A = this chain, B = another copy of it.
Amino acid sequence: MKIAVIGFGTVGSGVVEVFYKNRDKIENKAGCELDVKYIVDIRDLSASPYADKWTKDFNDVLNDPEVGVVVETMGGINPAYDFSKRSLLAGKHVVTSNKELVAAHGAEFIAIAKEKNVNYLFEASVGGGIPLLHPLYQCLGAGDVTAVAGILNGTTNFIMTRMIEDGMSFEDALKLAQDNGFAERNPAADVEGHDACRKIAILTSLVYGKHVYPDEVHTEGITEIKAADVAAASAAGCAIKLIGRVEKTDNGLVAMVAPSVLKKTSPLGNISDVYNGVLVRGSDLGDVMFYGKGAGKAPTASAVLSDVIDAVSAGGNIRKLGWVDAAHDTLIDYRNDNTAVMIRVAACDKEKAVELFGCEKEIEGVEDYAFFTPVLNGYKLEELKEKAKEQGVELLCALRVLDY
């Protein structure tokens, strides 16, 4: 069987390199001979060692019956959407690392794949090389998942780690991340939480079986986090992390992405630098966590190739991993959430703030004044924030406190 790789960027070139490095092993696991026949890219690859496989024309792939697996590593919605759909309709397996596309059109592709008796697999779209979607679906299958929470974006975790460990400002930490190649020149997708949002949307869809679209997930980024917020959390033995999560509440499913306060010794609170981690809480299972480098050329390529093996070796027995399309009604309003909140105010606002929010625990050894509230409902929190404003109390920060 032949493979076509669409998009020869970091992940795509990694897939080709890792494939040829481990070809024997991959063929052995797949149970058949495999080769990369096409590399599709609009850029000129005539100087690449794989020039003989290069084509600019996706139709070469589509019209070649030898190609059984299309690896889509272009990223973005267009033309990846079109190429993926046409590949599936032509009866070819599609394997992707493209979280944006999976989050936007996963249900559609999963349905087409099912109809055409092929696989649409996307392990690499969340957590890069960390085996996550397969074990989530397969091994957690028997029980009830009450929550999934994760550090889903390595760039923001690197930035938060520098703020926590080195006391850097957000701006300085972002610059360091950019200088080290961990952040794009335009870092919005990372620091504003959109990347984490797509990933928690995919995880939610998979775990609860219905497509949850990114625009349904309330999303806050880390751009407003101050060094003083990080210091206050530290003084309480906590770290601020960008957490994407979905939780079963009494009223329904709540999902959001937001900078949150976690104990430094907790499973997620302890994850530093560019590492990612996803914690799954099951009614029978307790907490399990998957941890690793969430990105990088070789880890992501490795996850893509595992999916290629899986697609090919599953044969006619198509994976059930997936979900169905749904109206925008799988989640309920994020304000149904119930958490304690870490509040920081100027020292002069201490009394008013404590009277409004209630003080469960004062944080000692900080500039200004910081404290933890009792557990508050999200609607109540909003109402109290409004009241604080009316009373002239400026909340320097108000971050949810989580136990992951």
Contact = CB atoms under 8 A, between A and B. Distances in A.
A167 interface: no
Given A25-B142, A129-B286, A131-B288, 4 more contacts: A29-B142, A29-B320, A282-B299, A288-B291
The A contact surface, by secondary structure, is mixed
Contacts of A168: none
B140 A131 contact: yes
Residue among A129, A272, A283, A313 having the largest count of chain B Cβ atoms under 10 Å: A129
A395 interface: no
Chain A interface extent, by class = 35 or more
Contact of A141 (B272, B298, B306, B314): B306
Given A139-B123, A284-B302, A317 B320 contact: no
A65 interface: no
Given A29-B141, A134-B138, A267 B291 contact: yes
Interface in A171-218: none
A69 B228 CA distance: 58
Contact of A289 (B134, B285, B292, B306): B292
B292 A287 contact: yes
Contacts of A290: 288-291
Nearest 3 Cβ contacts at the A-B interface: A131-B139, A288-B292, A142-B305
Residue among A31, A141, A265, A314 having the largest count of chain B Cβ atoms under 10 Å: A141
A317 to B, nearest CB: 4
A46 interface: no
Given A306-B139, A309-B141, A320-B29, A291 B289 contact: yes
A331 to B, nearest CB: 20
B143 A135 contact: no
Contacts of A299: 282, 284-286
Nearest to A15: B142
Contacts of A134: 134-135, 138-139
22 contacts: A22-B143, A22-B144, A22-B284, A123-B139, A130-B288, A131-B135, A135-B139, A138-B306, A139-B303, A141-B305, A282-B299, A282-B302, A283-B298, A284-B302, A285-B298, A285-B303, A288-B290, A288-B292, A288-B293, A289-B289, A313-B320, A315-B317
